[in-house]
Structure 1
Amino acid sequence: MRVGICDDDSKWYQKAKGIIEAYGKKVDIKIDVLYFSQGENLEVYEGAPLEAIFMDVDLGEESGIALAGKINKKWKSCQIIYLTNYLSYATETYHTAHTFFVLKEQFQDRIGEVFGKILHTIEQKSENLVFSAIGGKEVVLAPEDILYFERSGRITRIVTVWGNYEIWDKLGSVMEKLSKMDFVRCHNSYIVYMPAVRELGKGCFILKNGTKIMISRSHTKAVKTAFMRWAMTQML
């Protein structure tokens, strides 16, 4: 993941970079942080795509809000997170598309919320899922209609709020279609939709409908990391 910090205060940049990198290590996400000391540097940037820009509202002689408006038009998928020392700027920022507004003094305490929203926004851009059911019928499902996938023998069963469907696809192929924020592989035989989970128990997920889905030892660490990421998005 690649993000940028646009701020004319180099000391704050170093502090913010440290906070972001520490968060990345905590949740096992590699985050590359680029620095732009002024708007002009950001406007002429031609490197790899940036998932997000942490934008200072006041860039000295420049307006971070005006610059964000340009970024909205130039890189439509790049999210803007406003960082400022002044709450009074909050209403002005709503003239631009942005993901979060946070005071610099609160940045470290709210880093989980901020990245939870960034990651969730990225993952939620996926469209409806299309599967070829056994028998030749095409099944179109919204992610929120799915409870879990279960592999049994050579067949994968999709358990949804509308009923069950059977497909030939292996779970590895299924995971390639799914949002990594909302779905997690918890067992060689199961993929679970996180919003359908009521709680993470000892060795299993307990779904809101009472169903228990086993978590294998080999998937335990990845499941805990994925569950923490998803839980952070629910704090917003």
Structure 2
Amino acid sequence: MHLKIAICDDDKVVCAQIESMILQYAQESGFDVTIHIFYDGSSLMEGIQNDDNFDLIYLDIEMDGINGVDVGMTIRDKLRDHKMQIVYVSGKGQYDRQLFDVQPLLFIPKPIEESKLVKSINLAREKLALTPKLYHYKKRKEYFSVWMEDIIYFENSGRNVKIMTIDGTDLFVGNIKDIAKEVLPYGFIQISQSIIVNYNFVSKYSREEIILINKEKIAIPKNKRNGVKEQFLRESDKHL
């Protein structure tokens, strides 16, 4: 499992400490992790609204400006994201009742103990393993979410990306390179520089092309065939 984690605290020492503990535990436990660090709530919200979708957030409660409560409520109420796991970090021993409306995974007191951080990571991994993943995208000033398991493929379409789902198609501004970083760990295969498909919607695979369940055929470029084969073998092993 690949974890995409955000750390948001106005104390740079705390951020560095959490990052170091996570990286060490990830190495010891054999899972991949990507960590993004933010030093205030507004930059974290900007990152999330610019399609940085995190699996797990370590969020300081007491910050100037947009605090941890504001961030959590925005994620849950405005973005309607209840899959993102939030761990609140605080130097206080008592918590406002409003925090519980955010449905945090855990509260971790400062100074941070490694055992509590490890516990939070393990809980998040367990929950995420059981939770279908959402893909978020933005059109103009509106935000949309779709279950990854319902996405058939992504395809470059000029300056836009076409997303084909079981419910139809949509267009949004984006690029395949960024999308690949987000979805490839979740059962998607990059066929070319312009197309990413969901393995579960492939009905037939050959060296030259794939055929989707909807009978659509997608050619595999010659220079991508070995790489596509490796991806298919890797996904096939997961389903054995």
TM-score by length of 1: 0.51
User: Could you tell me which amino acid in structure 1 is paired with residue 107 of structure 2?
Assistant: F
Q: Is the 8 A contact 2:42 2:66 kept in 1?
A: no
What is the Cα deviation at residue 77 of structure 1?
A: 2.3
Aligned to 1:31, the other structure's residue is in SS state: strand
Q: Is the 8 A contact 1:23 1:111 kept in 2?
A: no
Matched, 1:101 2:104: no
User: Could you tell me which amino acid in structure 2 is paired with residue 117 of structure 1?
Assistant: L
User: Could you tell me which amino acid in structure 2 is paired with residue 122 of structure 1?
Assistant: L
What is the Cα deviation at residue 97 of structure 1?
A: 2.0
Q: Is the 8 A contact 1:24 1:30 kept in 2?
A: yes
* Aligned residues between the structures: 133
Distance 1:174 1:11, change over 3 A: closer
Q: Is the 8 A contact 1:90 1:101 kept in 2?
A: no
- Residues 42-97 of structure 1, C-alpha deviations (whole Å, 9 max, x = no match): 11112442111110010134321121110224243211110111121264421212
Distance 1:66 1:120, change over 3 A: same
User: Could you tell me which amino acid in structure 2 is paired with residue 119 of structure 1?
Assistant: R
Distance 2:74 2:118 in 1: 27
Distance 1:85 1:43 in 2: 22
User: Could you tell me which amino acid in structure 2 is paired with residue 32 of structure 1?
Assistant: T
Distance 2:113 2:64 in 1: 21
Q: Which runs of 5+ in 2 are unaligned?
A: 133-234
User: Could you tell me which amino acid in structure 1 is paired with residue 28 of structure 2?
Assistant: K
- Residues 20-50 of structure 1, C-alpha deviations (whole Å, 9 max, x = no match): 1111111011211111111111111124421
Note the aligned Cα RMSD (angstroms): 2.4
User: Could you tell me which amino acid in structure 1 is paired with residue 121 of structure 2?
Assistant: F
Aligned to 2:111, the other structure's residue is in SS state: helix
The equivalent residue for 2:143 is: none
What is the Cα deviation at residue 173 of structure 1?
A: 4.9
- Give the number of the structure with larger relative contact order, counting CA–CA contacts within 8 Å between residues 6 or more apart: 1
The equivalent residue for 1:64 is: 68
Task: Indicate the percent of aligned positions where both proteins have the same amino acid.
Answer: 16
The equivalent residue for 2:59 is: 55
The equivalent residue for 2:27 is: 25
The equivalent residue for 2:128 is: 122
User: Could you tell me which amino acid in structure 2 is paired with residue 70 of structure 1?
Assistant: T
Alignment counterpart, residue 34 of structure 1, candidates 33, 36, 57: 36
Aligned runs of 1:216-231 on 2, under 5 Å? none
Matched, 1:86 2:92: yes
Task: Pick which of 69-78 and 27-36 moved more.
Answer: 69-78
Distance 1:124 1:76 in 2: 13
- Residues 188-227 of structure 1, C-alpha deviations (whole Å, 9 max, x = no match): xxx9xxxxxxxxxxxxxxxxxxxxxxxxxxxxxxxxxxxx
Distance 2:118 2:236 in 1: 30
User: Could you tell me which amino acid in structure 2 is paired with residue 64 of structure 1?
Assistant: G
What is the Cα deviation at residue 116 of structure 1?
A: 1.0
Distance 2:96 2:82 in 1: 21
Q: Is the 8 A contact 1:57 1:89 kept in 2?
A: no
Q: Is the 8 A contact 1:9 1:37 kept in 2?
A: yes
